[in-house]
C-alpha cells in the first residue's frame, strides 16, 4: 500500500554467496566481553567495545555507568570526528568485519604531520569508511527483538511479513545485505516462536500473507534489557500441548507441566480468564455462538481486535522497569513520524495507555523521533558532531524511517542520558 524503499543488495555481497558468511554470521566488531560490567552479557554486541574504549571521553556516560546498547550506540554516534583519526587504524581493519581490533591498537595516529594536500580527501574517505563500519555493522538485537520492535511500532500492532522486512531494513543498513539469508531467519522466527501469532487478513484488506502480531500473553520479553537473548522464551501453553501430543500421542490430558513458569513478565493468569471472556463476548457480537469452534487464526483475529480496541496488553508489563527503559530505549521512535507513515490510519490517536507505558515511552515505541523541540537538538548535534541528521537522500516517499532516517542517522535514537541496559 505504501511505497517501499527498495534496497538492492550491493555487488559486494551476493545473497547466496557464502563468501560473506564469515562476516555476517559473526559479530563483526566485537573485541572484548562486556560481561564484567554487564548483568546481562549477550552475545558480543557488534558495536562498540573497541570504539568505546578507545580513549574517548564518555560524555554520555551517566553516573551509574550502566552499560547499554544505547550507550554503545551513543558512544559511536557521538564520537567526535576529531577522534576518528586516532581510531582509524583499528577502525579500518574492522570495516571488513574482521576487526583485528584485539586491543584497539590504533592509539597512535599514523603519519604524525598529516598535512599533505590529499589529506582532506583521505580524511573524507576515512570518515566515510569509519561511519560505514558501524552503520553497517550487525545491530545488537536478536531477530525476535527486531520483529517485536517492528510490530510494536506499528499503529495496528501487526504487520505483514514484508512490512517487517522493510522496518528492519529501514532502520538498520546492515540488513540491506544478504536479504535472503536473514529473511529466511525472520520467517523461521515468526513461525517457530509462540510469541508471534498470525492474524488473518480481513476481506477489506486482500493480499498475500497474513498479519503478524504479538501473542497477548508474551508480555515484555525484553524487560531485563537483553535484546539478544531472553532469559526464557515465551511459550504458549496450548501450542505446547499440541506439540507434546503430536510427539507422543500417549500423552493425552496431562497437559500442564507442573513446573510451567512463564517468563519474567507479569500479569499472565490475570488476563487469561479475561481473554476468554472477551472471546465469548466477541463471538456474540459477531453472531457466532460462543461455543462455536473457531480455528486458531480466527481466534487470533478476535483477540487482536479486542486488544487493539481496549488497550495494549503488552504495554502493561514491565512497569517496574520503565524508569530505566522508557527514557532511553535505543529504538524509541516518534509517534508523529509514525503518523506520517501511516497517515491513512488514525487508530493511534484513540489509543490510551492505562498501563505504565504510553505510546511514547514504552520500550519499543516510536516516539520522540523529531519532536518539535528536537530541531535545536539536531542542530546542536550536527554542529558538535558534524553529522547531517537530515539525510542527503531524500528521494524516498516513504515517510517512515526510510533512507537517511535510520537508526544511525537520527540522533534521537541515541538519547544522551540513556541507560538502557543490555
| Residue range at the interface with DNA (CB under 7 A); choices 72-80, 99-107, 137-145, 328-336 | 137-145
The residue written with cell numbers 481466534 in the block is: 299
Q: Binds 117, which of DNA, Mg ion, none (CB < 5 to 8 A, cut-off by type)?
A: none
Least distance between Mg ion and beta carbon 150 (Å): 15
208-to-161, 200, 309 alpha-carbon distances in Å: 10, 10, 25
Least distance between DNA and beta carbon 418 (Å): 21
Position 21 contacts DNA (CB under 7 A): yes
| Residue 184-203 contact track with DNA, rule CB under 7 A, x = bound | xx-xxxxxxx----x-----
8 Å CB contact between 110 and 39: no
Closer residue to DNA (CB): 89 or 400: 400
| Residue range at the interface with DNA (CB under 7 A); choices 34-42, 101-109, 248-256, 389-397 | 34-42
Position 364 contacts Mg ion (CB under 5 A): no
Q: Binds 257, which of Mg ion, DNA, none (CB < 5 to 8 A, cut-off by type)?
A: none
Q: Binds 21, which of Mg ion, DNA, none (CB < 5 to 8 A, cut-off by type)?
A: DNA
- Reported as type and span, the H/E element at residue 339 is helix 335-341
DSSP type of residue 198: E
Q: Which three cell numbers stand for residue 226?
A: 537483553
Q: Binds 417, which of Mg ion, DNA, none (CB < 5 to 8 A, cut-off by type)?
A: none
Angle between helices 161-171 and 179-192 (to 10 degrees): 130
Q: Which three cell numbers stand for residue 75?
A: 558512544
| Residue range at the interface with DNA (CB under 7 A); choices 23-31, 76-84, 92-100, 129-137 | 23-31
| Count helices and strands in the chain by DSSP H and E runs | 15, 3
Q: Which of 232, 251, 289, 375 binds DNA (CB under 7 A)?
A: 232
Distance between CA 38 and CA 320 in Å, rounded? Answer: 19
Closer residue to DNA (CB): 325 or 369: 325
Position 161 contacts DNA (CB under 7 A): yes
Count of residues near Mg ion by CB under 5 A: 1
Position 233 contacts DNA (CB under 7 A): yes
| Residue 170-209 contact track with Mg ion, rule CB under 5 A, x = bound | --------------------------x-------------
Which residues are CB-contacts of 372 (< 8 A; sequence separation ≥ 6)?
none
* Cα angle 399-352-151, degrees, rounded to a multiple of 5: 45
Distance between CA 233 and CA 192 in Å, rounded? Answer: 11
Distance between CA 329 and CA 413 in Å, rounded? Answer: 8
Q: Provide the binding-site residues for Mg ion, judged by CB under 5 A.
A: 196
Amino acid at each position: 500500500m505504501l511505497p517501499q524503499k527498495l534496497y538492492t543488495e550491493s555487488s559486494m555481497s551476493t545473497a547466496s554467496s557464502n563468501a560473506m558468511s564469515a562476516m555476517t554470521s559473526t559479530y563483526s566488531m566485537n573485541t572484548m566481553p562486556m560481561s564484567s560490567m554487564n548483568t546481562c552479557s549477550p552475545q558480543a554486541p557488534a558495536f562498540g567495545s573497541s570504539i568505546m574504549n578507545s580513549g574517548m571521553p564518555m560524555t554520555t556516560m551517566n553516573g551509574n555507568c550502566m552499560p547499554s546498547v544505547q550507550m554503545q550506540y551513543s558512544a559511536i554516534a557521538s564520537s567526535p570526528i576529531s577522534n576518528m583519526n586516532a581510531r582509524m587504524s583499528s577502525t579500518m581493519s574492522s570495516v571488513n568485519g574482521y576487526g583485528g581490533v584485539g586491543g584497539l591498537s590504533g592509539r597512535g595516529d599514523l603519519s604524525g604531520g598529516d598535512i599533505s594536500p590529499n589529506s582532506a580527501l583521505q580524511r573524507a574517505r576515512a570518515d566515510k569508511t569509519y561511519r560505514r563500519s558501524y552503520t553497517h555493522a550487525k545491530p545488537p538485537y536478536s531477530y525476535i527483538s527486531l520483529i517485536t520492535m517492528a510490530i510494536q511500532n506499528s499503529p495496528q500492532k501487526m504487520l505483514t511479513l514484508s512490512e517487517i522486512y522493510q522496518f528492519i531494513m529501514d532502520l538498520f543498513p546492515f540488513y540491506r545485505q544478504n536479504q535472503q539469508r536473514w529473511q529466511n531467519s525472520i520467517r523461521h522466527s515468526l513461525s517457530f516462536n509462540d510469541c508471534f501469532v498470525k492474524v488473518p487478513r480481513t476481506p477489506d484488506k486482500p493480499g498475500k500473507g497474513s498479519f503478524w502480531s504479538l501473542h497477548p500473553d508474551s508480555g515484555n520479553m525484553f524487560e531485563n534489557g537483553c535484546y539478544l537473548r531472553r532469559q526464557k522464551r515465551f511459550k504458549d501453553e496450548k501450542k505446547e500441548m499440541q506439540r507434546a501430543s503430536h510427539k507422543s500421542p500417549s500423552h493425552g490430558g496431562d497437559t500442564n507441566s507442573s513446573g510451567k513458569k512463564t517468563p519474567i513478565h507479569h500479569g499472565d493468569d490475570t488476563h487469561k480468564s479475561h481473554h476468554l471472556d472477551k472471546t465469548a463476548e466477541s463471538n456474540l457480537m459477531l453472531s457466532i455462538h460462543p461455543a462455536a469452534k473457531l480455528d486458531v487464526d480466527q481466534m487470533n483475529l478476535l483477540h487482536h481486535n479486542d486488544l487493539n480496541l481496549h488497550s495494549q496488553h503488552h504495554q502493561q508489563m514491565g512497569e517496574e522497569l520503565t524508569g530505566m527503559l522508557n527514557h532511553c530505549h535505543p529504538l524509541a521512535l516518534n509517534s508523529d513520524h509514525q503518523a506520517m507513515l501511516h497517515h491513512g490510519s488514525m487508530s493511534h490517536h484513540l489509543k490510551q495507555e492505562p498501563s505504565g507505558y504510553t505510546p511514547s515511552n514504552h520500550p519499543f515505541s516510536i516516539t520522540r523521533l523529531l519532536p518539535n523541540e528536537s530541531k535545536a537538538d539536531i542542530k546542536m548535534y550536527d554542529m558538535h558532531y558534524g553529522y547531517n541528521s537530515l539525510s542527503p537522500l531524500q528521494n524516498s516517499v516513504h515517510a517512515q524511517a526510510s533512507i537517511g532516517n535510520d537508526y544511525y542517522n537520527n540522533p534521537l535514537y541515541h538519547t544522551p542520558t540513556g541507560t538502557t541496559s543490555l
